[in-house]
Amino acid sequence: MATEQGSNGQMESQMELHGDELLVVDGVKKYFPITRGIIFQKAIAQVQAVDGVSFTINPGETLGIVGESGCGKSTLARCIVRLLETTAGRILFEGRDITHVSRQGMRPIRREMTMIFQDPYASLNPRKRVGFTVGEPLEVHKLGTPSEVKTRVQELLEVVGLNPEHYNRFPHEFSGGQRQRIGVARALAVNPKLIVCDEPVSALDVSVQAQILNLLKDLQDDFGLTYVFIAHDLNVVRHISDRVMVMYLGQVSELAPRDALYREPKHPYTGALLSAVPIPNPERGRAREPIVLEGDVPSPVNPPSACRFHPRCPRFVEGHCDVEEPQLRSFGEGHIAKCHYPLERWPMTSAEMRRRGSAEAHEEPVQA
């Protein structure tokens, strides 16, 4: 099943699907208009928050999405669960195109696909008791009588490691970690197939973060859940993911099985990210040489030409990287990266990274 899409010609993606994917994201774009004027609003520019992202997720796996702030990972999450309308592209859930399904039509799908949010303080209604918050999805979907809902909620609280007797408490009576457990319980309530986790542990202390990560893993084993796990912490993503996607300025830089990505990154940006992570071991940590990138992430309103990473890239080649946009190319089983001059090996120092080889640079563009 090959599909054509893309309006501006350069993003023609051809996805090969085998039909069992739980989720297919195909060339999704989300642009936010920047408007001027109060009554007569006129779009003067666009924030290209997500710009042509494609990937698939198989049932039972965890796809980690990493990137720095402003790379579009949260916008992508909101597009997947249809909290935001996409500008272009398609989203298929269990083979069905849900990109333009009506609100009413989304209802049954929302039972299959839920979300866990970053901030456990802001994502729970402070005026509603925990029992209500966790049970609300069940009521919305008319799953069971009030007493059945209550039993189910208490069961859920127990599953996520909270005391079922805390049913009648308010969110402020819980700590950050416990609140995130409530968020997990609410996401689990309707027995979804897919949970999109948007930075679920970023706001938590390390010891509590470990509790939530272990909980998410246990739940996946018990209920066969599929996760899209968004985070900026590369350690956390490595721990929980089967496959990892690296985003930069709204686009996919690299997508690979976890070990391939962390052991043999191909994109210089992935390399820079990995080298920048401090290691909690004095000997190894001090031995590492971070590849320090110059400057900041450019604005997605006016992204750099061709390869978006070129102004900060240690391997930048003038007249190539800033003129011709690289395509995603294959580097082995399920490993794709978008770079004209991929890394030959890993680890590398900054100096080595600057000496680019071109051995692999002339491979055929990827088909998948």
Partner 1 sequence: MALLEVKDLRTSFKTEDGIVTAVDGVSFSVEKGQTLGIVGESGSGKSVTCLTIMGLNARRSTMSSGEALWKGKDLIRAKPSQLRKIRGDEMSMIFQDPMTSLNPVHTIGKQLVEAVQLHRDVTVRVAKARALELLKAVGIPKAEARIDDYPHQFSGGMRQRVMIAMALINDPDLLIADEPTTALDVTTQAQILNLMKRLQDDFGSAIIMITHDLGVVAETADDVVVMYAAKVVEHAKVHDLFNRPQHPYTWGLMGSLPRLDADLERLVQIPGQPPSLLRPPGGCRFHPRCPYVMGVCRTTDPPLLGAERDPSHLQACHLDQETKDREGTKLVEATMAEA
The verdict on 286 binding partner 1 (CB under 8 A) reads yes
Strand, coil or helix: 262? helix
Q: How many Å apart are CA 129 and CA 135, to the nearest integer?
A: 10
Stretch that binds partner 1, among 48-56, 89-97, 185-193, 200-208 (CB under 8 A): 200-208
Three-class DSSP category at 59: coil
Residue type, position 271, single letter: G
- Interface residue with partner 1 among 279, 301, 351, 368 (CB under 8 A) is 279
Asked if 209 touches partner 1 (CB under 8 A), the answer is yes
Q: Which of 285, 332, 334, 357 binds partner 1 (CB under 8 A)?
A: 285
- Whole-number minimum distance, CB 179 to partner 1, in Å? 11
Judged by CB under 8 A, which stretch of 104-112, 182-190, 219-227, 291-299 contacts partner 1? 291-299
48-107 binders of partner 1 (CB under 8 A): 68-69
Q: What are phi and psi of 16, to 5 degrees?
A: -95, 115
- The full DSSP string for 128-164 is S-HHHHHHHHHHHTT-S-HHHHHHHHHHHHHHTT--G
Nearer Cβ to partner 1, position 12 or 289? 289
Nearer Cβ to partner 1 (110/288): 288
Q: What one-character-per-residue DSSP string does 160-217 give?
A: TT--GGGGG--GGGS-HHHHHHHHHHHHHTT--SEEEEESTTTTS-HHHHHHHHHHHH
Show Cβ contacts of residue 318 under 8 Å, excluding neighbours closer than 6 positions: none
Give me the half-sphere count of Cα atoms (radius 13 Å) on the Cβ side of residue 29. 19
Q: Is 284 in the site for partner 1 (CB under 8 A)?
A: yes
**Closer residue to partner 1, CB minimum distance, 103 or 286:** 286
261, containing H or E segment: helix 258-263
Applying CB under 8 A, the span of 93-101, 278-286, 323-331, 337-345 interacting with partner 1 comes to: 278-286
- The residue count for binding partner 1 (CB under 8 A) is 46
The yes or no reply on residue 365 touching partner 1 (CB under 8 A) is: no
Q: What are phi and psi of 88, to 5 degrees?
A: -155, 165
Residue 166, interface with partner 1 (CB under 8 A)?
no
Q: How far is the CB of 245 from partner 1 (least distance, A)?
A: 16
Lay out the site mask for partner 1 across 243-272 (x = CB under 8 A, - = otherwise). -------------------xx--------x
- Given the rule CB under 8 A, which residues bind partner 1? 68-69, 175, 177-178, 205-211, 213-214, 217, 232-236, 238-240, 262-263, 272-286, 290, 292-293, 295-297
